[in-house]
Amino acid sequence: MRTKRDNVYKINRQGGYCSVCGAYMQNPQFAHKIANRDDYRRKYGSVIIDDIDNGEMVCCNRCNDAVNIGNKPAEVYRLCIRIYTRKLREMGLK
């Protein structure tokens, strides 16, 4: 589950700049790569939808839209694999 603290970590990791347009973020927002929608939540699971790696911090709604990969199935599956692989690594497994 992603927390406010996770968002702050992500903002800091991006140096305070929007991951899409590069502008300094006055009002950062978390932009989901796989959107936070009921159908995607059913399809991919909350483990994926709520993961910190399922998104970027961006400056505005326009940049938020640019992060969406919901209509790119191959990218969605690559992201799921990356998240699951990271979770295995965090458990000390491969």
Residues in the chain: 94
Among 3, 12, 21, 72, binds Zn ion (CB under 5 A): 21
Which tokens is 17 given? Answer: 């700049």
- Is the distance from CB of 52 to CB of 2 less than 8 angstroms? yes
Quick one: which segment of 4-12, 17-25, 39-47, 73-81 binds Zn ion (CB under 5 A)? 17-25
Binding-site string for Zn ion from residue 39 to residue 68, where x marks contact by CB under 5 A and - marks none: --------------------x---x-----
**What is the spatial distance between Cα 28 and Cα 16, in angstroms, rounded to a whole number?**
8
Nearest CB to Zn ion, comparing residues 49 and 59: 59
The DSSP secondary-structure symbol of 69 reads -
Q: Across the strands, what pairs with 56?
A: 31
Binding site for Zn ion (CB under 5 A): 18, 20-21, 23, 59, 63
